[in-house]
Structure 1
Amino acid sequence: AGGFGLPFYLTGGLTLALDLAVVPVLPDISDIQTPKQAQQTGGSVRMSVLLLARSGLAVAGMLGLVTSAVGNSFLQPVLATHLQTFGLSTVMIGLCFALNPIIYTLCTPALGFLTDRLNIKELLLLISSLGCCVAFTLMGPSPFVSFLPRQLWLVVLGYVICGVSEAGLTIPTGKCLVSGAREMGFPNDMSTHGMMSGCSLSGFHFGAFVGPLLAGTLTDAVGFGRSTSIVAIIYLSTFVIFCLIFGYRYKVGHGESKRLEEASPI
């Protein structure tokens, strides 16, 4: 009804309105210290992404964020074409696309509450990476599960599981980064949180860049079913990496830092 440009005009207008609404509630940033000031006050003087990367927890959080963005952006250029093979109209395809963000939005508060209250960020990353693996296996469906029928309900089920699992990969990221910064001795100030925000945005947009690139290349080369299988393998590999990181942390005794974090969160 509104033409091709209406969604873009609406999104742009809402973005501008939100920018203006945020300005009055922005916090004071007077606590940000320069390296010279930090040295004079006895604070940490060396903060870098390379130092943060020495924390396995921070690496796990970034990996979860990147792979979540890869999976979400992978489906955007190819899922509509796949859904057209089921004879769906444009409206129905749009409704199918709405499932993922709706599920993601509904799950985010609950998962955030559980992560903060129960401190289950490691467990959530493990379960969610496996969930994304299952979701992409179903959506193809993957040749590895050739006994599954190629039906619309299976694609929808996979897409719903994907929404829940992507939320589970994204939500613990902030806490993982901040906890990793704490382990590396970063100060609890706006400069540290600004660095965490920059890392999060960089990881998300890197994944959002890689996802469509993989989707177009793989789908043209091997088809939708095999391409989603490759993404499922990526998530399975992510699960294995999480197991190695968290297993090593448990072995060397990072449980003590976890108890300190629960007692005095950053």
Structure 2
Amino acid sequence: MIQSKKPQNLLQFKEEDFSSLNLILKTKPKSLTFGRFLYTFEHQQQHYWLKTQALRINQSYEAGFLNELAFYQQFVDQRSSSNPMPDFLLPFQVIAHLKTDRQAESGRSPILILSHAEALFSDCSDMSLNEIKKTLLKVLDVLDQLHQLGWIHADLKREHFVQYQQRVCLIDFEQVEKVNLSQKMQSLTATPRYMAPELFHAAKKTIQTDIYAVGIIFYEWLTGQRLTAENYQDWAYLHCQRLRIVLPEHLLIFKKLLSGMLAKQKEGRFTDIYTVKQCLLTENVQ
């Protein structure tokens, strides 16, 4: 169930707060050339991220950023006792425009501020099977909430699942799409490492493509190994033909789960998160 969150989950920064902040640029060099700016900063002994996009620099980056802002803003506009803030969101704030001396490069662009959160998927080699199962269920619960609200994430990666105050949250909603309004991929708006086989044939993103992406995340986490490919064609060959699920003996109890999430044909893949969770819950994990 999506629980109501207190108002402090909406951050309340004022423009004057930014005049003395030490904004530390963390953007990757490639993203910088496309007008993306990602900063980290500290305020009242709490750590935050500030994300913005220079306008009229790169259409794709700008569209993704504005899509993410709209996704967050809907929950501010619609929040009420009958329509509470989703539990999977980090504390956040959307600011229509802000300009500081340290941010002159980005001009008066919209800004997204998020509380800092820790990575969720650390080494699981010392975890019990029951601890692993609980983590998998928390991830599935979060994704189920998103889907129940009528959205698919459409670009799930391992780093998009984070942990904040003992709850699992999702981040990076630049490619988020309405479940019933998804269109065929006209350009590469997903990460090949996590792309379901049908996406390499320009099919629409669906709940099942989200499930496939999470299946890859789970598989890499459980095995402690990253899938490898040299280029887009190699990734297509891996996902469409070559991928085989090979687990250590003590983790074979999760093979049925992964097989249902990573089926190459959509017809053989789990259709929704409820079905995924039922498979996991019926496994006798000690």
Q: TM-score range by the shorter chain?
A: under 0.3
Q: Normalization by structure 1: what TM-score?
A: 0.25
Flag the structure with more relative contact order, 1 or 2, with Cα contacts below 8 A and sequence separation at least 6.
1
Q: Normalization by structure 2: what TM-score?
A: 0.23
More helix by share: 1
